[in-house]
Chains A and B, each alone.
Chain A
Amino acid sequence: MNAILWQAVQILLVVALAPLVTGYVRWVKARLQGRRGAAPWQPYRDLYRLLQKEAVIAHSASWIFRAAPYVTFASVWLAACIVPTFTTNMVLAPAADLIALVALLAVGRFWTALAGMDVGTSFGGLGASREMLIASLAEPAMLMITFSLSLVSGTTAPAKIVAFVLAGNVGIEVSLGLALAAMVMVAIAENGRIPIDNPATHLELTMVHEAMVLEYSGRHLAMVEAAAMVRLTLYIALIATLFAPWGIAQPGAGAIGALLGLAAFLAKTFVLGSVLALFETSIAKMRVFRYADFLGGALLLGLLATIFLYVSEAV
């Protein structure tokens, strides 16, 4: 019974929290850059404002253009509902493991890229082409991270990994360090953050994600933005859950445990959000053709993480 309740809380939590996380990262970034910055809850206002505006659709657009924002948002939301944040006791958690999670995010990307090409503008194609290049390397890197985690813990289900780590079975391993580094690189790339992409730029030839969604307006744009916000929250939750699962409530922990888990999750989210803002402020954006080096590095780190397991075993 609790599993259903916590699942419902999780479904609402990820959507309700996502704009705040994005707003918070923007606010910290602004402070670090010496600006006053908009309040952390500004994204809520932005989304509401976008919902009130009429949607403008190009003549050449097909139904894919109209469906894509909803499909993308729903798939990202679905993925976010399955990553344990404050408790592992959720009724739908076993429906998807990490592999399926990666694939769910790929669904959103597939539709966004198609929508980018739908109108038939040069910017849309440019964004889609670059986004797919990034995905072609980031997705395998993510699967290699899953591989190394599954070798350490014997499972690909995030809830089971959490249980395994919390039971004190894992010491400090080189592999986990490498996997964490790869995971952070993937998260940066998949969320279009600096140095891969800059979420704050428009009208620059360096942009990726923004170029794809350039034609969107009104409620469609609101959905696209909300999906990006939920995706950021999801990756932060994923890193926090897999590499720092302390505080997450296990089955049988009761309401107090869940509340503690929630507090721990919020604390972790805001720490990681601050780190992201600090990182973004201190680094410059990369040239487009350097992406392959950056993400190839993430892929190799993931591969090394699996191979190091045996090296450390043998030593």
Chain B
Amino acid sequence: MLIAGALMTLPLLAVFAILAGRRDFSHGVVYAGCFVASAALLAGGLQYLGGHSGAPSAVLPLGLPWIKAHFRIDNLTALFLLIINLSAAAASAFAVGYGGHLPQRRRVTPFYPIFLLAMNLVLLADDAFTFLVAWECMSLASWLMVVSDHKDAENRRAGTVYVIMAVFGTFCLLPCFGLLAGPGGDYTFDAMRLRELGSLGGFLVALLAILGTGSKAGLVPLHAWLPLAHPAAPSHVSALMSGVMTKVALYGMIRILLDLHGELSWHWGAALMLAGGVTAVLGVLYAVLQDDLKKLLAYSTVENIGVAIIGLGLAIAFKGDGQKELAALALVASLYHMANHSVFKTLLFLGSGAVIAATGHRSLGALGGLLNRMPWTGAAFLVGAAAIASLPPLNGFVSEWLILQSLFKGPSMPHWAMKFGVPVVGAFLALAAALAATCFVRAYGIAFLGRPRSDAAAEACDVSFGMRASMAALAVACVVMGVIPVTVTDALTHVVRPLTGIDLAVSADLGWPWLSPVSATRGAYSATILVMFGLSLFAVAIFVVHRLGTQATRRADPWDCGHPEDIPESQYTGPSFAQPLRRAFGHTIFQARESVTMPEPGDTAPAKHTVSMIDPIWQGLYVPLGKAVDWIADHVNKLQYLTVRGYLLMMFGTLVFMLLVVAVRQQL
């Protein structure tokens, strides 16, 4: 009831936004309405999570008359309702103060509620038709918001790439569901679960599902649109696209691979795991070299999707191998990471929105010293950065710990590919986690610490109360989900039970605050205990130092080894911070080359240091693909200018060919 009411409110808000868009107050009203609706959906998800009494379902006479629209809330749906609407509520609350001041606000506000509605409907859909319609609405609504600032050529390009990739994703999902439904054409998920897929059918369904949902989630090499489109939208929409829409895509992947698809062999798990590992490392390597704060966050999304997919792939591999307990553990880890990423990525994107609102800049090179000017935003962003760098006791570390623990069990599978593959993926994951820490030290240190690099940054003021409150709420969520991990994993085991067929004990022998999955001898982690212990050591350290020593403090100019420079340009910048990493990793992967142009002695021209890099996936995959499409188009174009005789001949030829096909088929 709560959920239905909230969903019905959203289209009404969209209509209101169109009608009253000229009035300034209307934007605040619409976003406040979205906040209330998201909060209601959040409550609805909470209500159904862990329900044992079967999944409530409904059939509505919508859509095609002979199919109707089926909806159902099982534990998986309830969990994703929680994940999505927590971030959506925070982003909507942020947008109350943010969305009304955007120059292109009237091209954003009406589509925002539609976007929320579509994402929720994807989760609730219980037949392929409803799922795909909602999926397409989600793509279109977000596309419209990506191109809302269409005067910028870069945004137009982002929109074009995005729409092409979205079409590609649906193009894969359509036959995927077609194969799942089979010749009978029953598109309800219930019928699909019961159908036996042949070996070829099973293969194609898995491949198409991974391509279709993976392109939306940002799996390398299908990620190309993501770092273009996510930053192009206004920040509260970027937060939803990066933090939430990618989770809807992963929901689709889990739903098809683990629920609808009957038996998936471990090979798919191994392939997904490897793809996830490559995605994680490449994503973070791109991220660490970005100078645009929002692009950096978008690439970091690619990394985190990779991490979640490593867990998912492991779960599939374990399940295909019959090790249900480890499959459940890996799936819990993966879902935990999805929930975490949704929270901290939304927080970081909202933080970047606050920075843009305060300074008008999103390039790291124009920021600096914002922590002193924007203490609230700075503190919230710090929590998000530490969480995404997977530092204890925050939430990012718990999911990384769980994924590593399940990876460490991976070699127990009796396949040589897994015995050797798992350590390699483990190294990828560890590398990605360490580079993520570097990436966010760099982003935070340059944007929020140091001295301001532009006048706008020097005069920035913290944002309004509502925006700060929504960021603070997400920061608190990061801490809570990190400090009481067992409560979260307990909830996740309800979700995992129907998918893996086992009840996982996440705190096996030690009891509540100890996270010790599978068996206590595997090693345990207790954030609760560590926090209490660490805080007391922290307090003791401060007490002893202040007791033994002096408390005298003096403010002075920076020392900087005796020759302080007054110009803020002397500080490290984004590219200079990334230089060691660019040399270590970028030389082969990105073909990074540095060159110095030194003028002749006596010449007063400035010396120049330039760095050139290429995007290997764009250059290696998409550019040739685009050229191939152009070439085909050029050649097929001739068909447009044939004579009447030519067309008649073509029709005749086609007819003969078709008759031949029919004749041959009848003979066989």
Residues of chain A contacted by B571 (CB below 8 angstroms)? 120-122, 125
Q: A51-B545, A54-B553, A144-B423 are in contact. Are A99 and B525 (CB under 8 A)?
A: yes
Residues of chain A contacted by B222 (CB below 8 angstroms)? none
Q: Are A94 and B371 in contact (CB under 8 A)?
A: no
Chain A's interface: helix, strand, loop or mixed, by majority? helix
Q: Are A120 and B450 in contact (CB under 8 A)?
A: yes
Q: Are A95 and B570 in contact (CB under 8 A)?
A: no
B408 at the interface (CB under 8 A from A): yes
CB distance from A110 to the nearest CB of B (A): 6
CB distance from B588 to the nearest CB of A (A): 12
Which stretch from B178-186, B320-328, B490-498, B534-542 is at the chain A interface? B534-542
Q: Are B556 and A56 in contact (CB under 8 A)?
A: yes
* Chain B residue with Cβ nearest A144: B427
Q: Are B583 and A289 in contact (CB under 8 A)?
A: yes
Q: Are B530 and A107 in contact (CB under 8 A)?
A: no
* Chain A residue with Cβ nearest B521: A155
Residues of chain B contacted by A106 (CB below 8 angstroms)? 389, 391, 434, 437
B579 at the interface (CB under 8 A from A): yes
Residues of chain A contacted by B514 (CB below 8 angstroms)? 94-95
Q: Are A310 and B572 in contact (CB under 8 A)?
A: no
Q: A99-B405, A214-B561 are in contact. Are A113 and B445 (CB under 8 A)?
A: yes
Residues of chain B contacted by A52 (CB below 8 angstroms)? 549-550
Residues of chain B contacted by A160 (CB below 8 angstroms)? 521, 523
Q: Are B533 and A78 in contact (CB under 8 A)?
A: yes
Residues of chain B contacted by A225 (CB below 8 angstroms)? none
Inter-chain CA distance A154–B520, complex, in Å, is 11
Q: Are B555 and A58 in contact (CB under 8 A)?
A: yes
Inter-chain CA distance A215–B562, complex, in Å, is 10
Inter-chain CA distance A60–B556, complex, in Å, is 9
Inter-chain CA distance A5–B243, complex, in Å, is 46
Q: Are B534 and A129 in contact (CB under 8 A)?
A: no
What 0/1 readout, one digit per residue, does chain B (561-586) give for beta carbons within 8 Å of chain A? 10011001011100011111101100
Inter-chain CA distance A135–B581, complex, in Å, is 11
B662 at the interface (CB under 8 A from A): no
Inter-chain CA distance A303–B421, complex, in Å, is 11
B651 at the interface (CB under 8 A from A): no
* Chain A residue with Cβ nearest B427: A303
Q: Are A57 and B553 in contact (CB under 8 A)?
A: yes
Q: Are B523 and A156 in contact (CB under 8 A)?
A: yes
Residues of chain A contacted by B526 (CB below 8 angstroms)? 94-96
Residues of chain B contacted by A74 (CB below 8 angstroms)? 534, 537-538, 541
Residues of chain B contacted by A264 (CB below 8 angstroms)? none
CB distance from B103 to the nearest CB of A (A): 32
Inter-chain CA distance A164–B429, complex, in Å, is 27
B369 at the interface (CB under 8 A from A): yes
Which stretch from A33-41, A216-224, A268-276 is at the chain B interface? A216-224
Residues of chain A contacted by B552 (CB below 8 angstroms)? 54-55, 218
Residues of chain B contacted by A60 (CB below 8 angstroms)? 369, 372, 450-451, 558
Residues of chain A contacted by B450 (CB below 8 angstroms)? 60, 117-120, 125
B282 at the interface (CB under 8 A from A): no
Q: A122-B560, A140-B434, A292-B584 are in contact. Are A132 and B442 (CB under 8 A)?
A: yes
What 0/1 readout, one digit per residue, does chain A (194-218) give for beta carbons within 8 Å of chain B? 0000000001000000000011001
Q: Are A120 and B435 in contact (CB under 8 A)?
A: no
A114 at the interface (CB under 8 A from B): yes
Interface residue tally on A, bucketed by range: 35 or more
Pick the contact of B523: A54, A97, A118 (CB < 8 A): A97
Inter-chain CA distance A306–B522, complex, in Å, is 17
B386 at the interface (CB under 8 A from A): yes
Q: Are B525 and A307 in contact (CB under 8 A)?
A: no
* Chain B residue with Cβ nearest A160: B521
CB distance from A172 to the nearest CB of B (A): 21
Pick the contact of B397: A103, A117, A222 (CB < 8 A): A103
Q: Are A62 and B371 in contact (CB under 8 A)?
A: yes
Residues of chain A contacted by B570 (CB below 8 angstroms)? 121-122
Inter-chain CA distance A104–B437, complex, in Å, is 13
CB distance from B668 to the nearest CB of A (A): 49
Q: A117-B572, A125-B577, A223-B541 are in contact. Are A103 and B390 (CB under 8 A)?
A: yes
Q: Are A121 and B560 in contact (CB under 8 A)?
A: yes
Residues of chain B contacted by A117 (CB below 8 angstroms)? 441, 445-446, 449-450, 572
* Chain B residue with Cβ nearest A91: B529
Residues of chain A contacted by B426 (CB below 8 angstroms)? 143-144, 147, 306
Q: Are B580 and A130 in contact (CB under 8 A)?
A: yes
Q: Are A119 and B572 in contact (CB under 8 A)?
A: no
Inter-chain CA distance A154–B530, complex, in Å, is 23
Task: Indicate the member of B420, B534, B570 with the most A CB atoms within 10 Å.
Answer: B534
Q: Are A129 and B559 in contact (CB under 8 A)?
A: no
Q: Are B541 and A77 in contact (CB under 8 A)?
A: yes
A150 at the interface (CB under 8 A from B): yes
What 0/1 readout, one digit per residue, does chain A (220-240) give for beta carbons within 8 Å of chain B? 001100000000000000000
Q: A60-B558, A122-B572, A123-B560 are in contact. Are A132 and B523 (CB under 8 A)?
A: no
What 0/1 readout, one digit per residue, does chain A (33-74) give for beta carbons within 8 Å of chain B? 000000000000000101111111111101110000011011
B512 at the interface (CB under 8 A from A): no
Q: Are A128 and B404 in contact (CB under 8 A)?
A: no
B411 at the interface (CB under 8 A from A): yes
B430 at the interface (CB under 8 A from A): yes
Inter-chain CA distance A237–B107, complex, in Å, is 61
Residues of chain A contacted by B580 (CB below 8 angstroms)? 129-130, 133, 288-289, 291-292
Residues of chain A contacted by B658 (CB below 8 angstroms)? none
Q: Are A129 and B437 in contact (CB under 8 A)?
A: no
A249 at the interface (CB under 8 A from B): no
Pick the contact of A92: B451, B525, B529 (CB < 8 A): B529
CB distance from A275 to the nearest CB of B (A): 27
Q: Are A215 and B449 in contact (CB under 8 A)?
A: no
CB distance from A160 to the nearest CB of B (A): 6
B424 at the interface (CB under 8 A from A): yes
Inter-chain CA distance A54–B416, complex, in Å, is 62
B510 at the interface (CB under 8 A from A): yes
* Chain B residue with Cβ nearest A143: B430
Q: Are A135 and B554 in contact (CB under 8 A)?
A: no
Q: Are B386 and A133 in contact (CB under 8 A)?
A: no
* Chain B residue with Cβ nearest A138: B434
Pick the contact of B534: A57, A62, A75 (CB < 8 A): A75
Q: Are B583 and A137 in contact (CB under 8 A)?
A: no
Inter-chain CA distance A60–B457, complex, in Å, is 14
Inter-chain CA distance A218–B545, complex, in Å, is 10
Q: A54-B552, A114-B445 are in contact. Are A120 and B451 (CB under 8 A)?
A: yes
A98 at the interface (CB under 8 A from B): yes
- 27 CB contacts below 8 A, A to B, read A52-B550, A57-B553, A60-B372, A95-B524, A95-B526, A95-B529, A96-B525, A100-B397, A103-B392, A107-B392, A110-B386, A114-B441, A120-B571, A122-B571, A125-B576, A126-B572, A130-B580, A132-B438, A135-B438, A136-B437, A143-B427, A144-B430, A160-B523, A218-B549, A299-B427, A299-B431, A310-B419
Closest 7 CB pairs of A and B: A125-B572, A51-B549, A156-B523, A97-B523, A120-B450, A117-B445, A140-B430
Q: Which residues of A contact B (CB under 8 A)?
A: 11, 48, 50-60, 62-64, 70-71, 73-75, 77-78, 81, 92, 94-100, 103-104, 106-107, 109-110, 113-114, 116-126, 128-130, 132-133, 135-140, 143-144, 146-147, 150-151, 154-157, 160, 203, 214-215, 218-219, 222-223, 288-289, 291-292, 296, 299, 302-303, 306-307, 309-310
New A-B contacts (13) at CB < 8 Å, excluding given A110-B391, A118-B445, A121-B559: A56-B559, A58-B556, A95-B529, A100-B401, A125-B577, A133-B584, A137-B431, A139-B430, A140-B434, A147-B407, A147-B426, A150-B408, A156-B523
Q: Which residues of B contact A (CB under 8 A)?
A: 368-369, 371-372, 378, 382, 386, 389-392, 397, 400-401, 404-405, 407-408, 411, 416, 419-420, 423-424, 426-427, 430-431, 433-435, 437-438, 441-442, 444-446, 449-451, 510, 514, 516, 520-526, 529-530, 533-534, 537-538, 541-542, 545-546, 548-550, 552-561, 564-565, 568, 570-572, 576-581, 583-584
